Amino acid sequence: MANVKIAVIYYSATGTNYQMALEAEKAAKEAGAEVRVRRVKELAPSEAIATNPQWKAHVDVTQHVQEATLDDLDWADGIIFSVPTRFGNMAAQMKQFLDTAGPLWGQGKLVNKTVTAMSSAQNPHGGQEATILSLYTTMYHWGAIVVAPGYTDQTIFGAGGNPYGASATAGGDKVSDEVLAAVRHQTKRLIEITERIASPVHADR
């Protein structure tokens, strides 16, 4: 088993995508990967955050999580993104972070990295699929290798059947066990494909 490096990069306002990121971290470590969990920088003004007690509480309890940098993208063999939907698109905080990756892209340092994405919304059909696909569009420009979960495991159906990435319905205190199971499968699938790409046996074919 290759010792692959996985970056879990997320944005979360009230905690849903943070929970998914932590589950991905756990699954990746169980699979033998070296893992970094990073949150993208919060762009919303403190006045806006203060109007939502759950948002404010989440910001306060996750101050210990390091902010994502371009070094994390450069370091990783594979990347897991977790981001909520905003009107069918990824949250601006994640988009801003991805937009800073131009220097790495220009040097070809993002080519052939494996990537996969997860999302959440306030209801089961709130734009999760469109959000994940909007993120994958950036990955195609990078020359990265998108590793969607597809219908490769029964956990995908249990979590709602999204073949593009695990999708949660936000609003509760805890992400459902079904979605977390899909997150674990998606993470281990990413690592499996990353290992195949990194393996000298496969590289010689």
Residue among 181, 189, 13, 7 nearest 110 (CA): 7
CATH number for the domain whose boundaries are 5-203: 3.40.50.360
What tokens were used for 14?
């009230």
Give 82's strand partners: 10, 118
Tell me the C-alpha distance between 142 and 68, whole Å.
18
pLDDT tens-place string over residues 108-166: 999 999 999 999 998 888 889 999 999 999 999 999 999 999 999 999 999 999 999 99
The pLDDT assigned to 204 comes to 47
pLDDT tens-place string over residues 170-202: 877 799 999 999 999 999 999 999 999 987 554
What tokens were used for 88?
């069918």
- pLDDT over 60 (residue 21): yes
Boundaries of every domain in the chain: 5-203
> What is the 3 state secondary structure string of 100-125?
CCHHHHHCCCCCCCEEEEEEEECCCC
- pLDDT over 50 (residue 203): no
- 187 burial level (CB within 10 Å; 0-12, 13-18, 19+): buried
Tell me the C-alpha distance between 73 and 77, whole Å.
8
Tell me the C-alpha distance between 37 and 67, whole Å.
9
The pLDDT assigned to 170 comes to 84
| Mean pLDDT value of segment 65-89 | 97
pLDDT tens-place string over residues 88-104: 999 999 999 999 999 99
For residue 1, the Cα-to-chain-centroid distance in whole angstroms is 23
Tell me the C-alpha distance between 152 and 184, whole Å.
13
- Tell me the percentage of the chain whose pLDDT exceeds 70: 96
Q: Which amino acid is at 54?
A: Q
Tell me the C-alpha distance between 76 and 34, whole Å.
9
The pLDDT assigned to 205 comes to 44
